[in-house]
Amino acid sequence: MPEITLHAEIGRPLGSRPARRLRADGKIPGVVYGHGTDPVPVAVAGRELRVALSGESGTNALLSLDTGDQKFLTLARELQRHPIKGTVTHVDFQIVRRDEIIAAEVPVTLIGEAIEVHHGDGLVDQQLFTLPVRAKPADIPTGIEVDISGLTIGGAVRIADLQLPAGVTTDLEEDAVVVSGQPPRLQAAGEGEGEAGEAAEGAEASAATESSETTEG
């Protein structure tokens, strides 16, 4: 994964008022931390940050923060956003090393068509939309593709079925379901109502028996 260089200004004033002024000037306040380094307040150009994080790697993009005197290899973590506009208002940059294993979340994308599920009027139920992985920064995939062309109603694709790239692992259990084929909603609802009805009939029959025994006694 190639790194993206961002110019970072250090020595920014702290506080909410200076931060608002930075944002008004098109800059995003942040802090660099990690690997025993004292937190370093920085500011980066908002447009450059948006471009860097809108690529295929998303927030897993490797960012080289160039302060002029030194460079920090980082990942953008803990993005704070405006509650209405959704724009980034603050970002924590975590220092990483190229040779260390780090944790990240990558998107899960379904590919192919679950023909048998659709022909049976079933539903494709995606249960994992992101996958927690562990890998070196340069080995973090942009995403994981899951082929559902062989999916059937009652079937599932599990963690054990995924083909993860070399050097990438996940801590999830192998039997964890990524996506499954579900029966039609009406059928599932009907089965549920049938079970409930049988349970209700059984309860009524039991109550009637108890009442009869009480009267005879």
pLDDT at 215: 47
Residues counted in the chain? 217
pLDDT at 16: 84
Residue ranges per domain, the chain? 4-96, 103-183
Residue 216 has pLDDT above 80, yes or no: no
Question: Which of the four CATH numbers 3.40.50.300, 3.20.20.80, 3.40.50.1110, 2.40.240.10 does domain 4-96 have?
Answer: 2.40.240.10
Residue 196 has pLDDT above 70, yes or no: no
Q: Side by side, which strands form the sheet with 156-158?
A: 123-126, 177-182, 156-158
Cβ neighbours around 94 below 10 Å, total? 18
What is the C-alpha separation between 6 and 66, in angstroms, rounded? 6
DSSP type of residue 58: G
Record the tokens describing residue 97, joined without a space. Answer: 């090393």
The 10s digit of each residue's pLDDT in 102-120 is: 999 999 999 999 999 999 9
What is the C-alpha separation between 97 and 101, in angstroms, rounded? 9
Record the tokens describing residue 132, joined without a space. Answer: 């927690």
pLDDT interval class at 199 (50, 70, 90): low
Q: Which carries the bigger pLDDT value, residue 196 or residue 117?
A: 117
103-183: CATH topology is: RNA Polymerase Alpha Subunit; Chain A, domain 2 (2.170.120)
What is the C-alpha separation between 82 and 101, in angstroms, rounded? 32
Cβ neighbours around 180 below 10 Å, total? 21
Least confident of 4-13, 23-32, 43-52, 179-188: 179-188
